[in-house]
Amino acid sequence: MARTSPSPADARLIEYARSQGVEVTARQLERWRGKPDPLLPRNERSWPGRPVGGSSSTADGEIGELVAWLGKHQKQGRSRDHLILGAFAAGLRVPESSVRSAFGRHVIEMAADLRKNLGPLLPGADPDDWVGDGASRIALEQQHRGAGVNRRIRKIDKSLRELPALAEFWPTIGALDGSAGAEPLDNAGLAFHSVLGILLGADGIMPETIARVVRSRSGVSDLNPGAYLLETDNGDPLQALRDAPAHQVPGLPESSMLHHLHSLVLDTPLERLRAAWQAAGTLATWAEDLCAAVETEIAYGLPGPASEKWIYGMLFSLSRDLIRVGLAEPNPTPSQQCSSALSLLFVAGGTEAALALADEDGRHRADLLTPAPLRPLVAGLPAR
């Protein structure tokens, strides 16, 4: 319960907020400090010239900025996580434990949904059948999601394939795909293998399946050098998933990808976590701007920089998922933005690991293929 009169430190916070045009009460300050996951840290204690046992609370300018922000943005019905993540994204001093809890809740909720869809593993049941049947049920529910987004993407793909200015380009690219005509996955198959990958990580994805997924996600099955490289490369594209995660989410298979995301939540430095959240917030604008720019170039019959970026996504798939997410989530919820931020962090980590082993040509390819929202998270790429 708030005091009948605020402490001197709280009085200074209230006065600072008022100077910024925001009215805040002592009761609000106490509520924001409430556990679990406080929005506001407690005032520090000091003992200036007092005997042992006496103390006074002090407030600093950074906390004043946070109080003013909370007073301005707190609205009826707005979730605590929304406020925590919004203040964190603004660079304010939200308690670190609250930030990690807000990110972590997203992973825990995903895990709970998966466990609910899987159902209990009955005595004597085959674990592989249990996971496979659960993945099938989830895939059937998800196979038609994003149909409108996919139609727009396919329309752009088709228009670029038919553009007279690119007539000589496509056969040249097609010659680089030694597996042209390999069977892609339909929507149900794509959803099934995506769910299986989340549930089982590298254990749930066969090497040949990766290339089929790339062909399906890129929308170009008959010429896809990126998929062909995956089919013929002796390296392990899933090495990042095979590395043991530092932390586990209870109740999931040991190889689940969610363990890796959970570990990112707990171990990623706060500034990098903030950068990932901010990058995820750019996906919608970036995807819409890219689509609009490509559509304009197509309308004029003159492929330019936007078409070049789009075609890299068609042929190597790295940007394709980000475009889908950006178009499907024009105003992402905190949970959706958490998901995108953690996915970007995971992909950035894999990209940095690949860059560390790459030769000059490999680094040049990474520079060309890394989409704009991911670039701020990948060390070693030149600024653009």
Out of 147-156, 207-216, 349-358, the most confident range is 349-358
Q: 10 Å Cβ neighbour count for 184? A: 21
Query: Could you tell me the pLDDT band of residue 76, with boundaries at 50, 70 and 90?
Result: low
pTM: 0.86
Q: Using the structure block, give the residue that is written with the tokens 């330019």.
A: 304
Element (H, E) at 206: none
pLDDT tens string 314-347: 887 778 889 999 999 999 988 899 999 999 999 9
Nearest to 6 by CA among 51, 54, 67, 65: 67
Query: Could you tell me the pLDDT band of residue 53, with boundaries at 50, 70 and 90?
Result: very low
* Cβ-count burial 61-99 (b if 16+ within 10 Å, e if not): eebbbbbbbbbeebeeeeebbbbbbbbbbeebebbeebb
For residues 262 and 249, give the distance between their C-alpha atoms in angstroms, rounded to a whole number. 7
**Sequence letter at residue 217:** R
pLDDT tens string 224-249: 777 777 777 767 767 777 788 899 99
Using the predicted structure, report yes or no on whether residue 3 has a pLDDT greater than 60: no
The arithmetic mean of pLDDT across residues 86-104, rounded, is: 95
CB 298 within 8 A of CB 165: no
DSSP state of 316: H
Nearest to 178 by CA among 223, 221, 209: 223
The share of the chain scoring above pLDDT 70, in percent, equals 89
